[in-house]
């Protein structure tokens, strides 16, 4: 059985997935949870299991005042997991009528869950991804893929991007990553950075087409910063050889992996670019994305992939 890191922040989703008045069920680190907006719209997360007869609270409703009502016999629980209403037997509230609550924070349009000891939850450890999440919608593409592997394999995939030269040879790979030596920087106990810097190679096809001249030697940078357990910020860009980076094209990409159950994880991505910043480009990207991503995006948004990825 996998021993996931507990005292750490995990992404639980995009903030706009969590609508007021609508409980959302999501399993993280093997634990079925219910998220809902309590009093004042504050997002809370509780174990998705009523202590009475174990009905899923996510099938219930959010009541006035921000408590969630169990769909089976009507016990209500507040954002701290305390039972605050019992419609039976004169309203007495049994001591054991409580559910586990989790520390949840919204930051930069993302929702974060602290999976361990609540007293140890340090908000300063939430990575700052505002450079990505504040990008205008017409310069961004985001989505979700339910993924049938441990989240550590996604981390492995993004931290070793030499696979792009082979797996994505027609789009994101040019051979430059395999030819240069990665620079690895230890950023402390929770983070590390890997960078591939090259000069003289052609840009990958997906980048070359957006440079001022095509088929020319370039300077390229690919840099990924990993924050444990599953957050990666990837910066990839290219410019004509010898020209400043500011004259080239640049992308910032979030890859966010959170364990769901044994052998499965949630995978959210969010990419921004400094070129082709028009709605039509994003719409075309969404239309040509592999079907799995499009299906997954429509699943979490309850709407079409087109609207999710706009
Ligand atoms: S199972 Fe929830 S109130 Fe009975």
Write down the mean pLDDT value for the chain.
Answer: 90
- Matching residue, tokens 């039976």: 88
Spatial separation of the C-alpha atoms in residues 302 and 111, rounded to whole Å: 18
Closest to 26 (Cα-Cα) out of 165, 144, 172: 144
Q: What are the residue ranges in the chain where pLDDT is below 70?
A: 1, 279-310
Q: Which atom of ligand 1 is nearest to the CA of 73?
A: 3
Q: What is the pTM of this model?
A: 0.88
With a 6 Å cutoff on the Cβ, whether 50 touches ligand 1 is yes
- Tokens at residue 222, please? 């690919």
Distance of CA 172 to the CA centre of its chain: 22
Which residue's alpha carbon is at the smallest distance from atom 4 of ligand 1? 73
Which is it for the CA torsion 22, 27, 32, 35, positive or negative? negative
Q: What is the pLDDT of residue 283?
A: 53
Roughly how many angstroms between the first and final C-alpha of the chain, as a whole number?
A: 39
- 275 contacts: CB under 8 Å, gap ≥ 6: 210, 249, 250
- Cβ–ligand 1 contact at 75 (below 6 Å): yes
How many angstroms separate the alpha carbon of residue 49 from the centre of ligand 1?
9
What is the rounded distance in angstroms from the CA atom of residue 259 to the CA atom of residue 216?
42
CA distance 59 to 72: 9
Q: Quote the pLDDT of residue 282.
A: 55
* CB 131 near ligand 1, within 6 Å: no
Please report, for the chain, how many H helices and E strands are present, in that order.
8, 17
In whole angstroms, what is the distance from residue 98 CA to residue 46 CA? Answer: 10
Query: What per-residue confidence (pLDDT) applies to 138?
Result: 87
Any idea which residue has 């981390």 for tokens?
155
Strand (E) or helix (H) holding 279 = helix 279-288
Decide: 67 and 85 in contact? Cβ < 8 Å: yes
The CB of 190 under 6 Å from ligand 1? The reply is no
| Among the listed residues 23, 94, 25, 93, the one whose alpha carbon sits nearest the alpha carbon of residue 62 | 23
Q: Which pLDDT belongs to residue 2?
A: 74
Query: Could you tell me which residues come within 8 angstroms of residue 126 by beta carbon, excluding any fewer than 6 positions away?
Result: 9, 105, 107, 112
- CA gap 32, 47 in Å, rounded: 6
Q: Is 193 helix (H, G, I), strand (E, B) or coil?
A: strand
**Cβ 164 under 6 angstroms from ligand 1:** no
Can you give the pLDDT at residue 277?
84
CA distance 138 to 310: 7
Contacts of 189 (CB under 8 A, 6+ apart): none
Q: What gap in Å lies between CA 97 and CA 62, rounded to an integer?
A: 18
pLDDT of residue 298: 34
The per-residue pLDDT for 118 is 96
Does residue 52 line the site of ligand 1, with CB under 6 A? yes
d(CA 218, CA 203): 6
CB of 132 closer than 6 angstroms to any ligand 1 atom: no
Q: Which residues pair with 197 in a beta bridge?
A: 221
Question: Distances from the Cα of 97 to the Cαs of 66, 77, 78, in angstroms?
Answer: 17, 9, 11
Q: How many CB atoms are located within 10 Å of the residue 258 CB?
A: 25
């Amino acid at each position: 059985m996998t021993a996931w890191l507990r005292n750490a922040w995990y992404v639980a989703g995009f903030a706009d997935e969590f609508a007021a008045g609508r409980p959302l069920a999501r399993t993280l680190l093997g634990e079925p949870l219910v998220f809902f907006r309590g009093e004042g719209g504050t997002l809370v997360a509780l174990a998705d299991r009523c202590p009475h007869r174990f009905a899923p609270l996510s099938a219930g409703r959010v009541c006035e005042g921000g408590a969630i009502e169990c769909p089976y016999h009507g016990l209500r629980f507040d954002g701290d997991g305390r039972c605050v209403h019992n419609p039976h037997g004169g309203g007495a509230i049994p001591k054991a009528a409580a559910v586990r609550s989790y520390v949840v924070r919204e930051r930069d349009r993302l929702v974060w869950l602290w999976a361990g000891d609540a007293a140890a939850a340090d908000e300063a450890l939430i990575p700052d991804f505002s450079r990505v999440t504040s990008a205008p919608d017409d310069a961004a593409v985001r989505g979700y893929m339910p993924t049938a592997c441990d989240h550590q394999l996604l981390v492995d995939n993004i931290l070793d991007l030499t696979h792009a030269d082979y797996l994505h040879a027609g789009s994101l790979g040019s051979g430059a990553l395999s030819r240069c030596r990665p620079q690895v920087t230890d950023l402390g106990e929770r983070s590390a950075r890997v960078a591939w810097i090259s000069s003289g190679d052609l840009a990958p096809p997906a980048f070359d087409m957006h440079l001022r001249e095509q088929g020319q030697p370039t300077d390229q940078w690919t840099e990924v910063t990993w924050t444990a357990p599953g957050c990666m910020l990837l910066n990839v860009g290219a410019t004509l050889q010898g020209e400043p980076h500011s004259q080239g094209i640049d992308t910032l990409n979030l890859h966010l992996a959170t364990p769901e159950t044994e052998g499965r994880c949630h995978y959210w991505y969010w990419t921004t670019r400094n070129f082709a910043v028009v709605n039509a480009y994003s719409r075309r990207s969404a239309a040509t994305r592999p079907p799995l991503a499009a299906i997954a995006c429509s699943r979490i948004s309850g709407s079409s992939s087109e609207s999710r990825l706009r």
